[in-house]
Every structure is written in structure tokens, then in C-alpha cells.
Structure 1
Amino acid sequence: MSIIRRDYLEPSKPVEFPPELALLIIRKAATMAATFENDALDEMIRAARRRLRDGIEPRTIIRQLGL
């Protein structure tokens, strides 16, 4: 018998997840994803324009961006 209590190893009771909370989380995640996508797109466009100004071939930029 162990003298150390290990309650953290015992299975916990299942918790009912409120549908309203799930919906709010989904909406927030979608908003965050859209913001990230717009920021990434803006950054890729800025980088491509900068490289074009530096005289880099468009095909090289396409390869570097993984397009």
C-alpha cells in the first residue's frame, strides 16, 4: 500500500459541455483563423513585391513561396 495519494490518476467525472460555449469557441476560432489568413496573405504579397523590386524572377518567387 502506498502512502502517497494519487487522486490525479483516478478517472474524473464526465463534464457536460454546454452547446452555447462550444458555439462561441467555434466562432472565435473562425475569426482568429480569418485574421491569420489575411495577415499571411498580406505578408506574402509584400514579400513577393519586395523580391520583384530586387529583380528576382517570378518563377523563383513562386518556388520559394511553395506555390
Structure 2
Amino acid sequence: MSVIDCDYLPITKVEFPPELALLIVRKAQAMAVAFEEKALDKMTLDARRALQGGVKPRQIARQMGLVPA
């Protein structure tokens, strides 16, 4: 049998349980919130350090991709 003749996907469809989908959505949302908080903390810290180093706010905003270049 060649690779082309192999079936890689299941032939029968599996019904996805709504309860499992809800649990996945809730977990993904919690992960997104945690990521957003970490990103916000990191970006704020980086901006504060740049300001202390004498970098202008407009330049920081451009470097962070907050405004068009």
C-alpha cells in the first residue's frame, strides 16, 4: 500500500459534545485573560523603562506598534 492509498481521516463523524465545547471555550477565555494581563504588565514595564531612559512617548508608541509608523 502506498502513502496515497492510506486514509488519514476517520470515515465516521464524531458528534462533539456541547458540554466539552463549553469547557474548552471557558478554558480558552481564562487563558486569554491571563495572557492579556501578562502582556499589559510587560508592555507597561517596557514603556516605563524607555521613558526613564529619555525616549519620547510617541517613539515608544511607534516601536510598540500602537500607532502607524
TM range (shorter): 0.7 to 0.9
How far 1:10 moved relative to its partner? 6.7
* TM-score after normalising by structure 1: 0.85
**Aligned-pair identity (%):** 55
Aligned position for 1:45: 44
Instruction: Show structure 1 runs of 5+ residues with no match.
Output: none
Residues 1-36 of structure 1: per-residue CA shift (max 9 Å, x gap) = xxx174525751000100100000000000001111
Runs of 4 or more, structure 1, over 6 Å off, are none
Q: Which has the higher contact order (CA 8 A, sep 6+)?
A: 1
Q: What does residue range 16-55 of structure 1 map to in structure 2 within 5 Å?
A: 16-55=15-54
Aligned to 2:59: 60
| C-alpha RMSD of the superposition | 1.8
> 2: distance between equivalents of 1:9 and 1:46?
47
Q: Kindly state the Cα deviation for residue 56 of structure 1 after the two structures are TM-superposed.
A: 0.5
May I ask how many residue pairs the two structures share in their alignment? Answer: 64
Find the structure with the greater CA-based Rg.
Answer: 1
**Cα distance 1:8–1:65, how it changes in 2: closer, same or farther (>3 A)?**
same
